[in-house]
Amino acid sequence: MKSRRDFLQKLSASALSLPFIPSLALAEPEQGNELPYQGQVLRVAICGLGSYGTRVADAMQSSKMAKLVGVISGTPSKVKDWQAKYNIPEKNCYNYENFDAIKDNRDIDAVYIITPNSLHKPQAIRVAQAGKHVICEKPIAVNAAEGQAMVDACKKANVKFLVGYRMHFEPKTLEIIRLRNAGEFGKVLFFQGLCGFRIGDPNQWRLKKELAGGGAMMDIGIYAVNGSRYMIGEEPIWVTAQETKTNPEKFKEGIDETIMFQLGFPSGAVASCLSTYSMNNLDRFFLNGEKGFAEMQPSTGYGPIKARTNSGELTHPHVTHQTVQMDEMAGIILQGKKPVVPVDGEEGVKDLKIMDAIYKAVKTGKKEDLKL
Ligand code: NDP
């Protein structure tokens, strides 16, 4: 998922970061003769200034409709660095103790939560109660009940709740969905999603049940769960699953190393997937129908995504996923835009219902029914 080249590219992009631009300001002129964007801008605070938060912050510098204007962090030195790098005013900086005061800040519209998984629920509920829109990283919570509580809190507070499913806006992914809907592959019967990487530092939060909620399934297997749904275009009705563990010392109780799972869909289509923390360069989607296929490898990494069908290679240019995601999310929040593949909190809950059932099926060894 994380290539050094991509990281270095983002570093150089951040060196060109734009100054603070308030809502309704003029954005940078675009290439060619197009007029500069003059519409409303979504003003975002990032909560959790870690590895992915930094990637999103850098990518957002090139977004047209979304601007990074604030931070919530437990590390004062990072706040200082971000203030300097992204021109963030002191009054838009918060920590985990005082961020409820964001309700009185008229210069922030939304908070993007990019902290360890088990912190998402309490933080999202506080953000919603402060009257700000919530964007939350995947998995939105550590089980479906917690995810549903977040959805309910956002509804009650009348704020939007979106999930950082960046692949829902990726051009080659969207083209394959378009081709499938146009019948290019015939009746879809099979999907394969293989998602994994070799996890390093044994002391990181991703290997701690109380922060991660689970192992590879929560972190990377979720791409296969979510991808099964948008690639097949249906909701699964049953799941079976098997777990293997080669290193119980590193992958303790409650932290899955490798899980294979299978999903059944109402049309008769099936998915066969693998989630693992033990194999590098495992990032492949494959869809087959009665007439043809679509293959993506890499399929969910930061890109460039490579894709081909039985008719040939897809040549859509690479986009920085998070730049496009933030523009599209601004459109959803500010203009009520409807994405082709939804990114609302309910989507996150559906994936967690499937993951809950996968963990259950691993334990029971039985086929578990799903009601999404
Ligand atoms: P990091 O460990 O790099 O960053 C997490 C940040 O959360 C920390 O830097 C810290 O920021 C804050 N934090 C608050 N409390 C804790 C705690 N108890 N332990 C550790 N960190 C804490 O993680 P990532 O950025 O890689 O992942 C964060 C979230 O983003 C996860 O939910 C993950 O699944 C998701 N993610 C999504 C990706 C995608 O492609 N959509 C890719 C990678 C991750 P601070 O010091 O500012 O308080």
116 in contact with ligand 1, CB cutoff 6 A: yes
By the 8 A CB rule, do 191 and 286 touch?
Answer: yes
Pocket test for ligand 1, best of 55, 88, 111, 137 (most atoms within 8 A of CB): 137
Q: Is the CB of 114 under 6 A from ligand 1?
A: yes
Whether the Cβ atoms of residue 175 and residue 257 lie closer than 8 Å to each other: no
> How many Å is the Cα radius of gyration of the chain?
20
79 CA closest ligand 1 atom index? 47
**Left (φ > 0), alpha (ψ -120 to 50) or beta: where does 136 sit?**
beta
CATH number 3.30.360.10 is the correct assignment for the domain at 167-317+344-369: yes
Q: Residue 277: name the closest of 187, 177, 184, 196 by CA.
A: 196
Question: Given its phi and psi angles, is residue 312 left (phi above 0), alpha (psi -120 to 50 degrees) or beta?
Answer: left
Domain boundaries, the chain: 4-166, 167-317+344-369
CB 326 within 8 A of CB 53: no
- Whether domain 4-166 has CATH 3.40.50.720: the reply is yes
Identical fold, 4-166 and 167-317+344-369: no
Angle at 171 between CA 346 and CA 63, to 5 degrees: 80
| Phi, psi (deg, nearest 5) at residue 68 | -80, 120
pTM (2 decimals)? Answer: 0.92
Q: Which of 71, 79, 88, 114 to probe ligand 1 with, by most ligand atoms within 8 A of CB?
A: 114
> Of 23, 124, 8, nearest to 330 (Cα)?
23
User: Do 280 and 267 form a contact (C-beta atoms < 8 A)?
Assistant: no
Position 22 scores a pLDDT of 38
Nearest CA to ligand 1 atom 30: 114
Beta-bridge partners for 283: 195
Residue 32 makes CB contacts below 8 A (sequence gap 6+) with none
Contact partners, residue 12, CB within 8 Å, separation at least 6: none
DSSP state of 156: H
Q: Residue 23 has what pLDDT? A: 42
Contact 75, 49 (CB under 8 A): yes
Of all atoms in ligand 1, which is nearest to the CA of residue 72?
47
Question: Would you write out the chain's pLDDT as a tens digit for each of its 372 residues?
Answer: 444 344 333 433 333 333 333 344 444 445 556 778 889 999 999 999 999 999 999 999 999 999 999 999 999 999 999 999 999 999 999 999 999 999 999 999 999 999 999 999 999 999 999 999 999 999 999 999 999 999 999 999 999 999 999 999 999 999 999 999 999 999 999 999 999 999 999 999 999 999 999 999 999 999 999 999 999 999 999 999 999 999 999 999 999 999 999 999 999 999 999 999 999 999 999 999 999 999 999 999 999 999 999 999 999 999 999 999 999 999 999 999 999 999 999 999 999 999 999 999 999 999 999 999
